[in-house]
């Protein structure tokens, strides 16, 4: 997902997306370990998406405090 799409989501939706992405990342890592991974690039995409979500959530946390 693009950062703009993620910023339009609510905090609850972001947390749900984060959980989905973390589960997908776990599955992708497992597939990579067993050499059944079809698209190795997907691991990188999902990792970046998780980082984007964490960044947006932390920005929102700082805005609520300040």
Count of domains observed in the chain: 1
CATH of the domain at 56: 1.10.287.310
Contacts of 52 (CB under 8 A, 6+ apart): 1, 3, 6
Report pLDDT digits (tens) over 13-37. Answer: 999 999 999 999 999 999 999 999 9
User: What pLDDT, on the 0 to 100 scale, is given for residue 63?
Assistant: 78
Quote the CA–CA distance of 22 and 47 in Å, as a whole number. Answer: 8
Tell whether the model's pLDDT for residue 40 goes beyond 90: yes
Between residues 15 and 66, which one has the greater pLDDT?
A: 15
User: What pLDDT, on the 0 to 100 scale, is given for residue 1?
Assistant: 84
Residue range(s) defining the domain that contains residue 22:
3-65
- Per-residue confidence band for 62, with pLDDT thresholds at 50, 70 and 90: confident
User: What pLDDT, on the 0 to 100 scale, is given for residue 66?
Assistant: 54
């Amino acid at each position: 997902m693009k950062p703009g799409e993620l910023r339009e989501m609510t905090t609850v939706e972001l947390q749900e997306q984060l959980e989905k992405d973390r589960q997908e990342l776990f599955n992708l890592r497992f597939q990579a370990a067993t050499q059944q991974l079809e698209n190795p690039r997907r691991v990188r995409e999902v990792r970046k998406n998780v980082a984007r979500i964490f960044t947006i959530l932390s920005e929102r946390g700082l805005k609520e405090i300040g």
